[in-house]
Chains A and B, each alone.
Chain A
Amino acid sequence: DADVTQTPRNRITKTGKRIMLECSQTKGHDRMYWYRQDPGLGLRLIYYSFDVKDINKGEISDGYSVSRQAQAKFSLSLESAIPNQTALYFCATSQGVQPQHFGDGTRLSIL
């Protein structure tokens, strides 16, 4: 089983819909992150959480919100999806300042 699991793996939806992407981990790591990847732009940080009561905005948080429901779960929401949020979304975890471990991503298409 994967240590960092993202659901769904693929999602197609329409403009204006609310969407939630979920991430769960079995590694017991305290820190969790959400990134988006666009062709030619690399990964950009959306939100990160250092523990259950800690949520921080990243580089591109506008239009997104997150919830850290438990140490093992970190969800990303798009309240009203727009086409330029079409991208590949990755969740990652780390224990303290150790290197990050990534899930296999959610491919999101907004029509």
Chain B
Amino acid sequence: SQQGEEDPQALSIQEGENATMNCSYKTSINNLQWYRQNSGRGLVHLILIRSNEREKHSGRLRVTLDTSKKSSSLLITASRAADTASYFCATENSGGSNYKLTFGKGTLLTVNP
């Protein structure tokens, strides 16, 4: 079953605008990760935020985590056409003995030139 659910399912913006995608999950986690998938390619890891962290930055990416609301957001600032891709959140759930990721269904981001 899916753990993370991204919102919105699709987002279309103009180049230069900011893009915000949200992820909600159901159970306690050790960390939450964001991945990008370009059309026809595999997923690429973007950023990982641990359950005891609230915010993390990497270049034009900003990720927040609110464990009380079981939600995370990914902000891409000053978007570029090359940012067009699907974005997935993935959670590593706590309480288990094995490291596994559970992926959401993704947000398709289109950045128009």
Which of A's residues lie within 8 Å of B, judged by CB?
4, 31, 35, 40-45, 48, 50, 56, 58-59, 90, 92, 94, 96-97, 99-105
Residues of B in contact, count (CB < 8 Å): 21
Q: Please report the C-alpha to C-alpha distance between residue A45 and residue B102 in the assembled complex, in whole angstroms.
A: 8
Report A67 CB to chain B, min CB distance, Å.
Answer: 19
Interchain pairs with CB closer than 8 A, number: 50
Interface of A is mostly: strand
On whether the beta carbons of B2 and A42 are closer than 8 Å, the reply is yes
Q: Does B105 contact A (CB under 8 A)?
A: yes
The 6 closest A-B pairs by CB, nearest first: A102-B42, A99-B45, A42-B105, A43-B103, A102-B43, A42-B103
Q: List 18 A-B contacts (CB under 8 A).
A: A35-B103, A40-B105, A41-B2, A42-B2, A42-B88, A42-B103, A42-B105, A44-B103, A45-B102, A48-B98, A58-B100, A94-B99, A97-B99, A100-B43, A100-B101, A101-B45, A102-B43, A102-B44
Report A102 CB to chain B, min CB distance, Å.
Answer: 3
**Which chain B residues lie closer than 8 Å to A102 at the CB level?**
42-44
Q: Please report the C-alpha to C-alpha distance between residue A104 and residue B100 in the assembled complex, in whole angstroms.
A: 20
A56 and B98 contact, Cβ closer than 8 Å, known pairs A40-B105, A41-B105, A42-B88: yes
Q: Please report the C-alpha to C-alpha distance between residue A100 and residue B43 in the assembled complex, in whole angstroms.
A: 9
